[in-house]
Amino acid sequence: MVAVAVLGAAGGIGQPISLLLKLNTEITKLHLYDIVRCPGVGADVSHINTDSEVKTFQGATQLKECLEGMQIVVIPAGVPRKPGMTRDDLFNINAGIVRDLVQAVAEACPKAFVCIISNPVNSTVPIAAEVLKKNGVYDPRRVFGVTTLDVVRSSRFIRDIRPEFSCSRSVTVIGGHSGNTIIPILSSLAAELNLSTEEVDALTHRIQFGGDEVVKAKNGEGSATLSMAYAGSRFVSSLIAAVKGRPASECSYIDLDAHPSAAESAAHIGVTGLSHFSLPVALGPDGVDGIAPHDKPGAREAELIKEAVVAIKSNIAAGTAFVLNK
Ligand code: NAD
Ligand code: LMR
């Protein structure tokens, strides 16, 4: 049995990710929750002829019922950016949304894997961690910031300039999920693909600010939804594979206490004094099971890491303070 809940299921990401999860034949129960429009989305998705049972829940009074028995909880609830905004500008609204949803997770399904999509991920994941800690149910192996879209973009953007690069090949992306905290590790690929310094710089910038491309193109109608749904469903598929004993790995923004090798790996690349950082994570039946083999940062990326650490530190502090100072 694999039971998955989507919180924010009627939104721009929520709808297509619910569709993709309904197509995942390993999922047996799919629970969809939102504060609006959820019955329609649920009825629609439930007509797809795969075996999973779809149930719909709407409004805070139905949240706990939605979460009971869930093994994986995917959270794309919250507001998206408009042009001119940073992800941090979403903090004031989304911090409270994530806090309240994770509080319900702590009460109803404390052992579930929690996959956080809501921005700013660099802060919302520490918020989730603090809420679970407050409730005495925190297992750092089971909480993930979903940064898969940065990996998906990296593969695709490299393919745009080197058609011989296979889109299905994964690229290591570490750091966080916002602007200059996103660090694609391109050094060894640069040698393999004969990328010039200018090409590496342009690719790095495009990957870091790929989200802005979509926000600009949508012109006030939100941010990435379809590519995010794809990325999020890929992350969930990897998690399910790991739970079922198949090898899987994904880059994800995790608690560095989740595994001794996480803190070691981070320290090795100069990341100290942070509770969270995105690394290539080996996934196992209990979640984070180590660090997956990955390309090592080169000298240029080492500089980017230094900058990212400063920004992520303040994002984490904001998230932590939001829960602890209430
Ligand atoms: P959206 O506005 O289209 O949908 C959000 C949904 O959340 C809505 O249906 C809304 O009703 C619901 N919602 C709001 N408060 C809720 C609550 N308390 N409980 C349950 N549901 C609630 O937005 P979107 O485009 O789907 O984006 C959602 C979030 O995902 C944003 O914060 C966005 O920045 C983020 N995002 C993250 C990534 C990533 O890579 N991690 C990528 C794209 C978007
Ligand atoms: C993205 O990377 O597309 C998301 O984080 C949404 C955004 O605000 O850019």
Tell me how far apart the alpha carbons of residues 181 and 41 are, in angstroms, rounded to a whole number. Answer: 34
Determine the pLDDT at residue 144: 99
Q: In one letter, which amino acid is 316?
A: I
Task: Compute, in angstroms, the gap from residue 77 CA to the centroid of ligand 1.
Answer: 4
Asked if residue 87 belongs to a known ligand binding site, the reply is yes
Report the atom number in ligand 1 closest to the C-alpha of 87: 34
Residue 299 main-chain phi, psi, to 5 deg: -65, -40
* Residue that is last in its domain, among 147, 169, 198: 147
Determine the pLDDT at residue 7: 99
211 lines ligand 2 (CB under 6 A): yes
Tens of pLDDT, residue by residue over 39-91, are 999 999 999 999 999 999 999 999 999 999 999 999 999 999 999 999 999 99
Query: Are residue 211 and residue 284 in the same domain, yes or no?
Result: yes
Give the chain's residues under pLDDT 50: none
Q: How many Cα atoms are found within 13 Å in the side-chain-facing hemisphere of 215? A: 13
Asked if residue 206 belongs to a known ligand binding site, the reply is no
Determine the pLDDT at residue 175: 98
Q: DSSP letter string over 26-40?
A: T--EEEEEESSSHHH
Residue 191, domain extent:
148-325
Number of structural domains, the chain? 2
Asked if residue 117 belongs to a known ligand binding site, the reply is yes
Q: DSSP letter string over 42-62?
A: HHHHHTSSSSPEEEEEESGGG
Tell me how far apart the alpha carbons of residues 239 and 247 are, in angstroms, rounded to a whole number. Answer: 10
> Is the model's pTM score more than 0.90?
yes
**Which residue has a Cα nearest atom 4 of ligand 2?**
211
Query: Are residue 193 and residue 312 in the same domain, yes or no?
Result: yes
- Please name the residue that has the structure tokens 């794809």: 230
Interface predicted TM-score (ipTM)? 0.99
End-to-end Cα separation, the chain, in angstroms: 38
* Residue that is last in its domain, among 99, 129, 147: 147
Strand-pair category, 113-116 with 143-145 = parallel
Identify the CATH number of the domain in which residue 213 sits: 3.90.110.10
**Six token digits for residue 324:** 């602890």
Query: Are residue 300 and residue 283 in the same domain, yes or no?
Result: yes
Burial class (CB in 10 A: 0-12, 13-18, 19+), 298: middle
* Residue that is last in its domain, among 128, 147, 166: 147
CA 192 to each of CA 80, 164, 189: distance values in angstroms, whole numbers, following the listed order: 37, 11, 5
CA 53 to each of CA 2, 24, 25, 29: distance values in angstroms, whole numbers, following the listed order: 11, 12, 11, 5
Determine the pLDDT at residue 295: 86
Query: Are residue 31 and residue 172 in the same domain, yes or no?
Result: no
